[in-house]
Structure 1
């Protein structure tokens, strides 16, 4: 239901944007958005997804479904154009922050109180307390929220503002490490906050840099030694890697999907097997119904997904998309550079463990947040 409403919202966005091109200023905004460095790779990647449908073994419905999922790349320049106004961008940041603050508060309250509408219903500290969707989606969003709070703490001009936002960043981090079972969240938070701290301190002094690296190692050691949820999930991952039982496991299935994807990519390395081809190919390889129910839908790795279906051309276009964000981030002042590259770190981690641009919740998050970050970059370049 939520996915359908999101798609309806995107449709109305496109319709009213087209009307604005005729009777308003949307055409001017669109031209400006197309000059944004992330727009060309996004449009090229979507175009290649459409072209790659020509040699796909999938049926029309499967291809249409895949094109619809990747259509957010087509919408990205439109979103950037709609976010040309600083006040609009500020309201978007405030809306995201409010949503994540509510999620954070409910996550902590769920330790003691049960809520009928939350994802999990298991009280107690050290257990998974996912509020919405699943712990992967919540983990990556909460990781970025932790970085945003750290950014606002550094930017604050008052002592109380620094304390408040710093505390929110710490509480978000604890919710990921101690109140979630998401290994993607663990990795996304640690690497993103490490990148954030590293880039902020690089602009200051060598002593600050050494302190950041040392602090990151201490946090990692403390979290690893005290978080039961983290310990259990890491132990489980190790056991799944070492297991030879043939049972369907999270890590084991991912290893199987990566191996299968690399085998298929070798057959058609340049062009790929075509858009929406992965499920068709996987069903002929994974004949066990239990395995196929997990591994035949998508390969849980967006890089492998593009490689199998759109070949090296598609993977190169995706790399261009990531590089465009990185290049723009590097041009920013130290704190904003740290925030943008922390976001990019989360994006890469998520797409290495999940097919994040194929899955609706993560797709919407990464596309809309990319638009929000890059729209501000375009605005400053023009001013």
Structure 2
């Protein structure tokens, strides 16, 4: 909440800003990490508001307004494009979890309506999304030096590296060496990377199919851990779902901030879920 408040203060009073105009509304770290935290907070608050609606309606409404402030910051101030995809998935998850497949359909409909309203009212969001479309068009015309174009090239090269050692991979720490190996005199420096911007590809390059199986097993185990109906389980599900979706476009388990967000988020909520389950088992034994 403090980060949200400071972000909005800097939006309305830009003269107070100390990081320059490159990161408006982002007081610390970067917009990718900030929008990730805000997305998780927003849907955590929505889940809590739903749980309190029948017993404490006023508090529930206040939580919804706070969640709206988080979402508004994402779509009007500063966001990663990955976070926009994550928001859509989280909304769908919430609908499915609360009301089943009908809730999922309603959530999808609400998402479409809200997306249209935000598109019409947020020049910032339109610029972010149209920028991705322009980057794709320039890539198709042969210009790869854009975030979208570079990602596609990273993925193409990564698949070729994986094909060379599909079972056990090339070994840890080999990603930069492989990209350097394939570079020529005409290769853009940006194409020589240490990060293929996809978690599964990053693991597959170094550890092969065996590593990918372990990665997927970890995600599935954590998703199963948070399949319960409790509020804490919902918080944990948000952390895991954010990491799974964002890892389609980034190597977030290997990034410092997002990696620790996953470790701490899953560790704390997972411990609470397991403790609650253990307490329930002991209570049953006594009866």
TM-score over 0.5 for the pair: yes
TM-score, normalised relative to structure 2 = 0.87
Residues 288/250 of structure 1: CA separation in 2 closer, same or farther (3 Å cut):
farther
When the two chains are superposed, the root-mean-square deviation of aligned CA atoms in Å is 2.2
Residues 295/136 of structure 1: CA separation in 2 closer, same or farther (3 Å cut):
farther
**Matched residue of 1:110: which SS?**
helix
Residues of 2 paired with 1:365 and 1:150: CA distance? 20
Residues of 1 paired with 2:112 and 2:17: CA distance? 38
- 1:225-374 aligned at under 5 Å gives the runs 225-243=120-138, 244-287=141-184, 291-293=188-190, 295-330=192-227, 332-333=228-229, 335-374=231-270
Give 1:246 deviation, angstroms. 2.8
**Matched residue of 2:170: which SS?**
coil
CA contact 1:195–1:338 (8 Å) conserved in 2 = no
Q: Deviations over 1:306-342 (max 9, x none)?
A: 0111111101100000000111222x11655544333
Residues 338/173 of structure 1: CA separation in 2 closer, same or farther (3 Å cut):
same
Give 1:194 deviation, angstroms. 2.5
CA contact 1:278–1:309 (8 Å) conserved in 2 = yes
Corresponding residue for residue 108 of structure 1: 8
- 1:85-104 aligned at under 5 Å gives the runs 101-104=1-4
CA contact 1:199–1:337 (8 Å) conserved in 2 = no
Residues of 1 paired with 2:51 and 2:79: CA distance? 31
Q: Which runs of 5+ in 2 are unaligned?
A: 280-287
Residues of 2 paired with 1:161 and 1:380: CA distance? 25
Residues of 2 paired with 1:287 and 1:138: CA distance? 37
Q: Which runs of 5+ in 1 are unaligned?
A: 1-100
Residues 269/341 of structure 1: CA separation in 2 closer, same or farther (3 Å cut):
same
Aligned length: 274
**Are 1:185 and 2:83 matched, yes or no?**
yes
Residues of 2 paired with 1:150 and 1:301: CA distance? 29
**Are 1:133 and 2:33 matched, yes or no?**
no
- 1:102-181 aligned at under 5 Å gives the runs 102-114=2-14, 115-117=16-18, 119=19, 121=21, 128-156=24-52, 157-181=55-79
CA contact 1:269–1:307 (8 Å) conserved in 2 = yes
CA contact 2:48–2:231 (8 Å) conserved in 1 = no
Q: Deviations over 1:192-220 (max 9, x none)?
A: 13212331122xx94x5543332122112
